Structure 1
Amino acid sequence: MTAMSVVRMKNEKSEAPVSGSGMDRVVERKGLSPRIKIAAGVAALASAILLFWWFAPTSSSQTLAADRVTISPVTRGTFEDFIPLRARVTPLLTVYLDAVEGGRVEKLLVEDGATVAKGQMIAVLSNAELQLSTLARQTEVEQQINNMRSQELALAQTRLANERAVLEAELDAAKAKRQYEREAPLAARGFVPGKQFADTRDTYEYQRRRVAVLKRSQATDERLQVGQLSQQQAAAQSMQSGLALARTNLDSLNLRAPVAGQLSGFSIQVGQSMQRGERIGQIDSPGRNKLMAGVEEFYLGRVQLGQRATIESGGRQYQARVAKIYPQVQNGQFQIDLQFIGAEPANIQRGQTLQARLTLGDPAPAVLVPNGSFYNDTGGNWVFVVAPDGRSAIKRQVRLGRRNAETIEVLDGLQPGERILTSPYTGLTDKDRLDLSQ
């Protein structure tokens, strides 16, 4: 069998299926250049750093919740210059009773709470040692006084003796003078011997000089005697005073009321031993009271004697004045005494507390902010002022003046309509800005 072969002609078309792949064209993609990519990365990083710096809290700022602070407005009004006080009722006059000398209580004549009169005996003490000492002192003083009286008697006798001697000398001088005057003319005519006249003349001269010497001696003795008598009299008076004091100390064992009033704190018992100077009670003035109040040391320079205060009691108001100021400061306060002007409230008791309002000055128009705890933290030198949108508060230096229980006077740094934080600034004193979150 003969094999047959098929020869394809060149111009014969292929019978393969026709597709559109021959018509497709590859398109080349173009990406961002490396430089542009680096620049975009740097810009994104700088934006992130800027946003973090803007929104991140700093050491001089702090974020607080707006509902955790108190925001108050700055207003214009009338400043009432007063301070409220809490005053305690005390007796107007209190006299404390102390045992001048110690001893044993022998007798009680009144009871605690009794009303006593001035000079009334309230108790009797005994002190054997003091009694014996007073008696010994009295005996010693009397002996010394007797000795001084003996000396005074001796001085008086010496004075009399001197006066007697002067008188005798003057008498002798007078006799010698008369004898001299009789013999002088006779001796001149030779009727009296010269020796006799010379003796007469010498005797007269002696007696005259003797009188002068005795008078000088008498004057000297008199001067010394006067000085001695003055000293002895002064010593006697001193001894008498000492004896009177000893007797007074002995009499002080009888305890008496120095003033009239109500006796309180009198709790001694019969047989009790009292020490010298021990407090045994006190006497309060009857029916008269005063008020004692504590005032903050901030007002120490502004409270003056005579300033008026209004006291509220039983729905009525009573007037009082500052009667005494105690400048000692304890626990941030000093004390003052208020004395009622006119009538006192009825039925007030010792230790009772009353509300008082002390006026420091006349009302005056001023820019005001509410009084708050912030003042204690800043001293009135700066405040946090709230921004108009209420989202932040900035520290601002201000100058605040007088204050009362409700408002504080603004002298500089704030305007009416602004708002400030009046709540405590605890932990915020080193901040310059506060962010208030809603």
Structure 2
Amino acid sequence: MKRVIIIIVVVVVAIGAIAYVLNNNKKKAEETTAFIAKGSGAVAVKTASVERKEINLDFTVNGTFAANQELNFMAENSGRVSKIYVEEGSRVSKGTVLARIDAEILNTDRETAEATYQNALKDLQRYESSFKTGGVTQQQVDQARLNTQNAKLRLQSQQRKLNDANIRSSINGIVNKKMIEVGAVVAPGTQLFELVDVSKLKLKVNVNESQVANLKIGDAVEIQSSVFPQDKFSGRVTFIAAKADETLNFPIEVVVTNNVKNSLKAGMYGTAVFKFPKQAPAILVPRTAFVGSVSSNEVYILDKANNTAQTRKVVSGRILGESVEVVDGLKEGETVITSGQINLNNGTAVTVIK
């Protein structure tokens, strides 16, 4: 019984709260309506003059530097680490020996493969000699030849494994991490080193649809770093996503050449400055002047003689931030309405709010 009473009280309180919120929203709506419809029934609007302005396509975006090359070296053979030739922070070149895996077992396997191959060669020679005198068949000679070929392949495989005992760098870079110590036993797949090349980096940024429309692969980009404000860096666009991400932005990658000191590090923040040739002046209006959206290609202009709103079909061009280029339909000196369109029809009386 007590539980039922509690439930009833909770329901009553919830209904009261909902009623309060609805009543409060109604009052706000009435106040808004009264504000809009002030002045002899005229709709209150805001306006902007239609002007011809120079178009500036330049823009900047922030991103994060990533290493141009980053490799995790893994062991290909089992064995014990006998020597390590580098430390964390060491600079290495392509082909530099980083470490050596104990090759005692590998040596034994290689020697066994070598002996097997030599025996197979001798057997083949004997079979070929005997075949000439009719001592063996062609099938036996072919089998001996096949055994020799297989033994040679096994020898080559063991030789490669023996060569892999020396772990060599395949890139120029810096040893960022060392995951092994002398004496450690490793198995195939064990991580040994992480190498990072920061002589070049990738600056990853996101741009919107109006910005990506002006970019192409190979464009030069000025790069700035807040950590090194006095240093100048340059880069080139190497990747432009063919599809927008979930935020409707397009991922872009700019390869940046580091300075001789390799000052820039992977993980730092950077700014890409995109600059474009000077554009011819064009008629621009605020983006909010369009009824609904830019794709509607419809605006309201202010008829100053009668203080009324008149619909006008236009042809929109490029979207430039908060402004939109109008290719056709408007002239300099006209006035477009930028707010209050939801309450307008063709010929509606309006009053301009400063």
Judge same fold: TM > 0.5, yes or no: yes
Distance 1:344 1:151 in 2: 60
Quote how far apart the aligned CAs of 1:99 are.
0.7
Residue of structure 2 in register with 1:378 after alignment = 293
1:19-418 matched pairs, under 5 angstroms: 63=36, 72-91=48-67, 93-101=68-76, 106=81, 108-125=84-101, 131=105, 139=112, 142-143=115-116, 146-147=119-120, 149-159=122-132, 161=133, 228=142, 232=145, 236=148, 239-268=151-180, 276-277=188-189, 280-285=192-197, 287-297=199-209, 302-312=214-224, 314=229, 319-327=234-242, 329-331=244-246, 332-340=248-256, 347-359=263-275, 363-370=279-286, 378=293, 380-382=295-297, 384-385=299-300, 387-388=302-303, 398-405=314-321, 407-418=323-334
**Cα contact 2:201–2:258 (8 A) shared by 1:** no
Distance 2:261 2:46 in 1: 40
SS in 2 for 1:262: strand
> What residue ranges of structure 2 are gaps of 5+ in the alignment?
1-29, 39-43
Residue of structure 1 in register with 2:3 after alignment = none
Taking a change above 3 Å as real, the CA distance of residues 374 and 256 of structure 1, as seen in their structure-2 partners, is: farther
**Cα contact 2:116–2:151 (8 A) shared by 1:** no
Of Structure 1 and Structure 2, the greater strand share is in 2
**Cα contact 1:82–1:360 (8 A) shared by 2:** yes
Quote how far apart the aligned CAs of 1:349 are.
3.6
**Cα contact 2:97–2:168 (8 A) shared by 1:** yes
Distance 2:182 2:289 in 1: 59
Residue of structure 1 in register with 2:19 after alignment = none
SS in 2 for 1:285: strand
Distance 2:161 2:308 in 1: 78
Quote how far apart the aligned CAs of 1:437 are.
8.3
CA RMSD of aligned residues (A): 5.0
Matched to 1:378, the amino acid is S
**Cα contact 1:63–1:437 (8 A) shared by 2:** no
Distance 2:111 2:45 in 1: 81
Distance 1:247 1:277 in 2: 20
Distance 1:99 1:86 in 2: 34
Taking every aligned residue pair, what percent have the same amino acid on both sides? 21
Please list the CA deviations of residues 357-415 of structure 1 after superposition, one character each: whole Å capped at 9, or x if unmatched. Answer: 32466522321235x5899x735444653535698877765443334446432223443
Of Structure 1 and Structure 2, the greater helix share is in 1
Taking a change above 3 Å as real, the CA distance of residues 71 and 149 of structure 1, as seen in their structure-2 partners, is: farther
Quote how far apart the aligned CAs of 1:101 are.
2.5
Please list the CA deviations of residues 318-377 of structure 1 after superposition, one character each: whole Å capped at 9, or x if unmatched. Answer: 54332344545433333333245897898434333333232466522321235x5899x7
> What residue ranges of structure 1 are gaps of 5+ in the alignment?
1-56, 163-220
**Cα contact 1:74–1:414 (8 A) shared by 2:** yes
Quote how far apart the aligned CAs of 1:96 are.
0.3
Taking a change above 3 Å as real, the CA distance of residues 144 and 272 of structure 1, as seen in their structure-2 partners, is: closer
Distance 1:417 1:410 in 2: 14
TM-score, normalised with respect to structure 2 = 0.61
Quote how far apart the aligned CAs of 1:79 are.
1.9
Quote how far apart the aligned CAs of 1:307 are.
1.8
**Cα contact 1:385–1:418 (8 A) shared by 2:** no
Quote how far apart the aligned CAs of 1:261 are.
1.9
